[in-house]
Structure 1
Amino acid sequence: MESIIHRLTQRFFPKDKGYTITILGLDTSCKTTLLYLLSTGQVVRTIPTIGFNVETITVKTPTSVLSFNGLDVGGCGASHMRSIIAWYTTVADAIVWMIDSADPERLPESLEEAQIIVKMTMDRKAEAGKPPAPFPILVLANKQDCSNAISVDEIQMRFSTAMSNHVLFVFKTSCTAPYGSSGLPEAFGWLSVALQGVTSKNPGPVLAPSGAGSQVYDPRSSDPLLQRISNWVTLSDSDSSPDEFLSQFHNLQLPSWDHYAHIRIAYVILTKYGRQKIKT
């Protein structure tokens, strides 16, 4: 059975036909909803996936257009399906891992399943004689519009601790929101850059757009602190103006409150008002 799947995936998703991306996650995380939202632009009614669904997708991002074969695979969470799922991920260029943020009790299960599948994928690639090159893992913290959603910071902390050796980024998304405000354009914009980075001969650190989510910094860097500072400098160059950033802060409208936002607000206040303003 597995050998048949292996031959089929190699036949239908050859490397010269563009990127192949697998969409994975536990049930009810909206994998199929995402696939058809990206391919049709509409939220469609779906049923639990048995096997897989595949679509050729073109996604508009803030800075580019990303085209790929999207493969929504069912069965995540079932131990007997893992080896079959690993055949799909072995031929893929990236993994999109969906999380149901409105179900906090299953977050540990989702993380464990992601770890197992990623490890099996790396092992399969090694068995096939492929170099152990990193592949992007885009984690979508879906259903962030629900009142009981797990915070993106908590998801980032857990995934960054457990999967620190991978090029990984966590984005907050909602598949039922209008596409422009769903978080998906920024998420797939990062994935586009990440795919270009890992397939180039001299990949550099993969940056993410400001406020988009929480990054697990590239482990290939020899100095994570210098890399982080470099990332912040790059983000500040493309971010909103100091006055706009300060207005977002006063109106509680910052996309996220991470280390970058914390340090930048302190810097903006210092340069605009001086030390006395911070004291008051």
Structure 2
Amino acid sequence: MCFMSVVQKLKGSTDMELSIVLLGLDYTGKTTLLKSLASEDVKIITPTQGFNIKSVASHEMKMNVWDVGGQRKIRAFSTKYLENTDLLIYVIDITDKKRFEETGMELSELIDEENLAGVPLLVFENKQDLTAACPASEIAEGLSHCTASFPINMYRTA
């Protein structure tokens, strides 16, 4: 499924401008995703200290995409970026099985945020092209404690 089709389906409207926030643990590929959306070179990526923002036009939509750093010391500040969010994309590195529980706990905390009430959530399984990628069943198990109270949409792009 094309990324833009997923965004349109989750948003459920034809708004011409969207505010999208990319969150997840550090080194999951949020900046790579942002640069890919903006058709920029992804060969050299440095860890995000704070945030990156880009406006991307595609399929008659303008997306203002906030890529918020995922280092543990700055995660607590990520909620500042959630006000007026139209779509939250939570990026998971599906090759990093050791951090599934940690990412599930972070996602659980986000789900409880007041600013996210009614905001569609897309869990983006990144790094599917790598041989170390875990199957969806293992990812779902790692996220199990947060999926019971919130419907999570997981899409595979393979």
- CA RMSD, 1 decimal: 2.5
Q: Does 1:139 align with 2:108?
A: no
- Aligned match of 2:29: 30
Unaligned runs of 5+ in 1: 1-15, 126-131, 173-182, 184-254, 256-280
What is the match of residue 143 of structure 2?
Answer: 159
Q: Secondary structure at the match of 1:40?
A: coil
Q: How does 1:73-222 map to 2 (within 5 A)?
A: 73-74=68-69, 76-78=70-72, 80-119=73-112, 121-122=113-114, 125=115, 133-159=117-143, 161-172=145-156, 183=157
SS at 2:102 equivalent: helix
Describe the SS at the equivalent of 2:82: helix
Following the alignment from structure 1 to structure 2, what is the Cα–Cα distance between the partners of residues 31 and 46? 10
Question: Using the alignment, how far apart are the partners of 1:114 and 1:49 within structure 2?
Answer: 19
Q: Partner amino acid for 1:89?
A: L
CA distance in 2, matches of 1:158, 1:105: 9
- Higher strand fraction: Structure 1 or Structure 2? 2
Task: Tell me if the contact between 1:33 and 1:45 (Cα under 8 Å) persists in the aligned partners.
Answer: no
Higher helix share: 1
- 1:37 deviates by 0.5
Asked if structure 2 preserves the Cα contact closer than 8 Å seen for 1:22 and 1:71, the reply is: yes
Q: TM-score, normalised by structure 1?
A: 0.46
3-state SS in 2 of match to 1:90 = coil
Q: TM-score, normalised by structure 2?
A: 0.77
Greater relative contact order, per chain length (Cα 8 Å cut-off, separation 6+) = 2
1:48: which partner in 2?
47
CA distance in 2, matches of 1:107, 1:59: 32
Aligned-partner Cα distance in 2 for 1:115–1:36: 27
Asked if 1:72 is matched to 2:67, the reply is: yes
2:122 and 2:22 map into 1 onto residues whose CA distance is 9
